[in-house]
Structure 1
Amino acid sequence: MKKIEVVLSEYDVNWEEQFLYEKRSIQEVIGHVILGIEHIGSTSIKGLKAKPIIDILLGVPSIEVVSELIEALKIIGYEYVPKPELMERRFFRKGLWGQGTCHLHICEYNCSEWIDKCLFRDYLRLNAQAADEYETLKEQLADHFQYDRQTYTKKKEPFIQTIIAKAKNNDFL
C-alpha cells in the first residue's frame, strides 16, 4: 500500500467556507436524520497549521441509520470507508485516496465520540497555549513521520487525550 505523505499547511481562512459548503450539501441529501453537524479537527481552529482536509462531525439518532445514508452521500462525492476498529463512528472520505478534501465522521449525537471531538476542538479554540503546543507536536511528528500518516495520527493521541481530560475537568487555563 502506498504511504500517504503528511503535509501541513498554514491556516487558510477559506477552510470555514469549505465547511459551510459541505454542511449545506450534506443537509440537502440527508438533512432528515441530522441532529448536529460540526466542523472539527485542526482546520476548525483559527491560526492552526493543518492537513488541508475538512473534518466534519455528523450526529445522527442511531449509528444503525448510517447504512441507509451511504448512497445519498455518494451522490455528493462521499465514499464510505469501512473501518472495523471504529466502534462508535463511521468514516467517509471525499476526494481521491490519499488526496481527500473532506473527512466525514458520523456517530450518534452526544455519544462519547461526539463529546470528545467537540471538547478537544473547543479547548484549542479557547486556549492559545494548548493550540501552539499541538501545532508544535504536529510539526515534529510530520517531520519524523512524513510518509507514515497512520503513525503520525497515532502519536498525536496522548496529547489529544490529555486535552480532552482537561476539558472534561473544566481546566481551561
Structure 2
Amino acid sequence: MTSPNVILKNYDPNWELQFEEEKRKVLSVLSGQQIQIEHIGSTSVKGLGAKPIIDIMIGIDQLDEVDALIKPLSTVDYEYVPKPELTDRRFLRKGKWGQGTVHLHICEFKSNEWIEKLLFRDYLRENPKIAEEYMNLKKNLAKEFQFDRQTYTKKKEPFIREVITCAKSKFY
C-alpha cells in the first residue's frame, strides 16, 4: 500500500462544526461510558491550515477498555485500525484508507499521550506566531513529501517535540 498524498487546505471554520457533530455521534453510542472527548490536531486551531481530517481524542481510564468501544463505534462508521507501533493509544478512522475524514485516537486520561496532545494544541492556540511557523513547516514538507504522508508526518516531529517542551515549561 502506498502512502496517501499530503494535501493541505486553508483553515475552515466548518472543522469545528464537524468535530461537534462527530462528538455527538460518539457520545450517542458510548453513553454511560466514562470518557472525555477533545478536538486535537491542526483542525482544532483557529486559522491554521491542515489536512482536512478531523482528529478526535477520547480519554478513558484504562487502555484495555478500548475493545468494548470498537463495536459501538463501528455503528457510527468508525473502523478500528490495529497499529502495533502505537503502544499508548488505539486508532480508529472514518472513511477509506488514505481518504479518511476523521481520525479517532483513544488513550488513557492523564497519560503522556493525552497531556502532550492537549499541550501542543493549546500552545498553538495561544501562540499565533508559533502556529504560523508550524504552518510554514507543514507547507514546505507537503511540497517535498507530497506523495509520502508517513515521511511528512515524521519530519514534523522535531518541531512538535520542541513546542511540547516549551508548553511544559510554561504550564508546569
TM-score, normalised by the number of residues in structure 2 = 0.97
**Residue of structure 1 in register with 2:127 after alignment:** 127
Unaligned runs of 5+ in 2: none
Give the root-mean-square deviation of aligned CA atoms: 0.9
Cross-structure match for 1:156: 156
2:86 maps to a residue whose letter is L
CA contact (8 A) 2:95 2:101 kept: yes
Any idea what the Cα deviations from partners look like across 1:13-39, whole Å, max 9, x if unmatched?
100000000001000111322431100
Do the aligned residues in 2 keep the contact of 1:81 with 1:91 (CA within 8 Å)?
yes
Between the aligned partners of 2:90 and 2:31, the Cα distance in structure 1 is 17
Question: Could you list the per-position Cα deviations for residues 51-71 of structure 1 after superposition, in whole angstroms to 9, with x for gaps in the alignment?
Answer: 000000100111001011111
SS in 2 for 1:22: helix
CA pair 34-14 structure 1, distance change in 2 beyond 3 A: farther
* Aligned residue pair count: 171
The CA deviation at 1:117 is 0.0
Counterpart check, 1:39 vs 2:39: yes
Q: What residue number does 2:59 align with? A: 59
Q: Hey, what's the Cα distance between the residues in 2 that align with 1:22 and 1:142?
A: 27
Instruction: Point out where structure 1 has 5 or more consecutive residues left out of the alignment.
Output: none
Distance 2:66 2:31 in 1: 13
Identity of aligned residues (%): 58
* 2:109 equivalent in structure 1: 109
Is the 2:4–2:148 contact (alpha carbons within 8 Å) kept by the matching residues of 1? yes
The amino acid across from 2:87 in the alignment is M
Measure, in 1, the Cα distance between the counterparts of 2:32 and 2:100: 26
- The equivalent of 1:94 in structure 2 is 94
Tell me the CA shift for residue 110 of structure 1. Answer: 1.3
Q: Is the 8 A contact 1:58 1:106 kept in 2?
A: yes
* Greater mean alpha carbon deviation, residues 73-82 or residues 34-43: 34-43
Query: Displaced runs of 4+ in structure 1, greater than 2 A?
Result: 31-35
Partner residue, 1:14: 14
